[in-house]
Structure 1
Amino acid sequence: MYAEPACESTLSMPTPSRWPVVPIEPAVREAAPRPAPRCSACSLRPACMPPDLTSSELQQLDTVVLTTRNVRRGETLFRAHDPFQSLYAVRTGSFKTIVMHRDGREQVTGFQIPGEPLGLDGVCSGTHSCDAIALEDSTVCIIPFVQLETFCRESRRMQRHLYQLMSGEIVRESSLMMLLGTMTAEQRLAAFLLDLAARFQKRGYSGAHFNLKMSREEIGCFLGMKLETVSRMFSRFQREGLVEPNGKQIRIVDLEGLARV
């Protein structure tokens, strides 16, 4: 691509071969890391960091989490086999994590909403084991793991919080195995909606009325169900007065009834 330099007349213009080449801005330039808001003043901090950090620990935390990154819908935050360098905290938006089967099929392994971590899968081997893809235009805070480890050695609260995050991943994986291995289709979808409602409520959002940023097909891929089965179960829950779906909006009408499914 060439850009014409300013000139007084067409006679003084250089020939095309002498025109300076102007580099095209890459389309992903906006995804470059940017300065992060201070953790100490972030409204989501109680959801992703220990609630009882001292003022001194908060100041130190502000020196660890220095940048954020914008990830557009459909873009990848990290891919399987990428070197592990940082943990991420979802600040805005939402993500899905996926692994690929040998035959090329995609398996959704989780959905992450604001305040939840991404990247813990890389701690074990030093490389990521899954892809993290934005379900909508999203923002993450970047937490360099080397600096976080140093902070954890100086802060027992932060060290305990990191252990809790890792333990939470173990519990989540175990719960997913039980969900896929022992529950009926109705129970799987009910458990998924109840879990999502509890997570939204914990972060200060409505636990009864929320948007599903993931598609019905992605829900089915996560729950081990076909798209048709997911749609049929939503219709059944609606007929039974348990939920009111409206496009991607879901209103849980009967929380106790949904829990009894």
Structure 2
Amino acid sequence: MSEIKLSAVHSLKTACSNCSVMELCLPLGLTGQEVARLDTLIVQRVKVKKGATLYRAGDPLRSLFAVRIGSFKTSVLSIDGREQTTGFHMPGEMLGLDAISNELHACSAFALEDSEVCPVHFSQLEKLAQELPSLQHSLNKILSREIVRDHDMLMMLGNMNSDERLAAFLLNLSQRLSLRGYSSSNFVLKMRREEIGSYLGLRLETICRGIAHLRDQGLVEVSGRDVRIHDMEGLKQLIAGCNRPPLR
């Protein structure tokens, strides 16, 4: 794990059955006995400091990482060295899926805040999934969710204008936070506006104008990184013309 010195990492044993995001993670749909078997693969949870790299593009696949606490961004570098943000990940989501195809990570993952992950050794996970069809089904659902999210992203970039992209992004965060028991209308952005712009394919000044437009319409107020959604239905209607739900 790049930039994570194991000697300096505070590692603790944890149990999937006691995790607050179990119902959003790999144990989804597993019985208590099956969760206990999955639990044996997670030797420790690992703290990752804000700004530290969990893995870098080109690193070999060793583990998948379930986000337990905090948040991460993934990114790739273009040929000319520019960073392109490819995703933002919350508790209950998996990191490292990009490396399954050729056993090398295609992107890098950085902690947006002090975070914790549960590493799951991939070869051991594959072996256990062969014995537990429910675990294989859960893994398939996670992989499918990533594919659908990529499709939604491509459709958004192709069909939505800048204000609609920003509205869809904020609505997506709202819905994902709500699933985790947080407020859907008041939350804090963990990422910088430049990173949002990179993810949405927009310049920083366009993001700033979009925030002002949403505020002027009485939909959303953004102060620094604090977000307050005033009109959830209005936000949904803004992107309804695209005939698709917001990003998953």
TM-score (norm 2): 0.91
User: Is the CA contact (8 Å cut-off) linking 2:29 and 2:138 kept in structure 1?
Assistant: no
- Equivalent positions of 1:40-79 (< 5 A) are 40-79=17-56
C-alpha contact 2:4 2:54 (8 A) present in aligned 1: no
Residue 215 of structure 2 corresponds to residue 223 of structure 1: no
Q: Alpha-carbon deviation of 1:204?
A: 1.4
Inter-CA distance 30–222: structure 2 relative to 1 (3 Å threshold): farther
Written as runs of structure 1 = structure 2, the 5 A alignment for 1:155-194 is 155-194=132-171
Q: Deviations over 1:160-215 (max 9, x none)?
A: 01001111111111111111121100110011111111111111111111110001
Cα 1:203/1:147, change in 2 over 3 Å: same
Greater Rg over alpha carbons, structure? 1
Q: Does 1:255 align with 2:232?
A: yes
State the shift of 1:223 in Å.
Answer: 0.3
What letter is aligned with 1:210? F
- The answer to whether structure 1 residue 130 and structure 2 residue 107 are counterparts is yes
Closer/same/farther in 2, CA of residues 155 and 65 from structure 1, 3 Å limit:
same
**1:1-261 counterparts in 2 under 5 A?**
28=5, 32=9, 34-261=11-238
Identical pairs, percent: 47
Q: Is the 8 A contact 1:36 1:66 kept in 2?
A: yes
Moved more, 221-230 or 197-206: 197-206
Gaps of 5+ in 2: 239-248
Cα distance, 1:30 vs structure 2: 6.2
- The equivalent residue for 2:246 is none
1:251 & 1:123 partners in 2: Cα distance?
A: 38
Task: Indicate conservation of the 8 Å contact 1:31/1:69, yes or no.
Answer: no
Q: Name the stretch that deviates more: 60-69 or 122-131.
A: 60-69
Letter in 2 for 1:142: P
> Taking CA–CA contacts closer than 8 Å with sequence separation of 6 or more, which of the two structures ends up with the larger relative contact order?
2
Rounded Cα–Cα distance in structure 2 between residues aligned with 1:168 and 1:66: 26
- Match of 1:244, SS state, is strand
**Deviating more after overlay: 135-144 vs 27-36:** 27-36
Q: Contact between 1:90 and 1:118, CA under 8 Å: does it hold in 2?
A: yes
Amino acid of the structure 1 residue aligned with 2:92: G
* Cα deviation digits, residues 84-130 of structure 1 (max 9, x gap): 01100111111100000000011000000111110000000100000
Query: How far apart in 2 are the matches of 1:208 and 1:81?
Result: 38
CA contact (8 A) 1:90 1:115 kept: yes
Structure 1 pair 78/27, CA: closer, same or farther in 2 (3 Å)? closer
Structure 1, unaligned runs of 5 or more:
1-25
Give me the TM-score of the superposition, normalised by structure 1: 0.86
**Partners of 1:166 and 1:44 in 2: CA distance:** 18
Q: Report the counterpart of residue 13 of structure 1 in structure 2.
A: none
* Paired letter, 1:92: I
Q: Indicate conservation of the 8 Å contact 1:180/1:224, yes or no.
A: yes
- In structure 1, what is the Cα distance between the partners aligned to 2:138 and 2:55? 23
* CA distances 1:54-97 after superposition (whole Å, capped 9, x unpaired): 22112111101121111111111000010001100111111100
Q: Secondary structure, in 3 states, of the residue corresponding to 1:260? A: helix
